[in-house]
Amino acid sequence: MSTRPKYLNLFQIKLPMPGIISIMHRVSGAVLFFALPVLLYGLQQSLVSFGAFNDLRVFFANWLVKLIVLGLFWGFFHHLCAGIRYLALDLDIGVDLEPARASSYWVFAGGIVLTLLMGWKIW
């Protein structure tokens, strides 16, 4: 008789940090993909005229917009750090259990530190 469960309760499964980083890498990539047209539209509007550029500057001076942009920066930096980690794993660097776990924590910390540095610069 098998002792395996007949169903999986996703709220009881403890996902390891490399799994969380993998999911966050996919989510950040999707968010960046869908934000790209909006950001490109903003760039295009800023090049139309000086008045449109000033309107965009006023829009980005809002604290809520700055917070959203900071979230996009986190997505970018997390995606970048995780992508470098996955490139290293593809080259068989850090594929053992302990280095893989350590590199996932480094990715998480690196994304936050880089985001805080960028937030300090833009705020």
Q: pLDDT of 64-111, one tens digit each?
A: 999 999 999 999 999 999 999 999 999 999 999 999 999 999 999 999
Q: Is 100 part of any domain?
A: yes
User: What are the DSSP calls for 96-119, one per residue?
Assistant: SHHHHHHHHHHHHHHHHHHHHHHH
Q: What pLDDT score does 13 carry?
A: 81
Q: Is 41 part of any domain?
A: no
**Span 33-61, pLDDT tens digits:** 999 999 999 999 999 999 999 999 999 99
Structurally, the chain folds into a number of domains equal to: 1
State pTM to two decimals: 0.87
Q: What pLDDT score does 55 carry?
A: 95
Q: Is 116 part of any domain?
A: yes
Q: What pLDDT score does 5 carry?
A: 62
Half-sphere exposure of 30 (CA within 13 A, CB side): 6
Q: Which domain holds residue 82?
A: 70-123
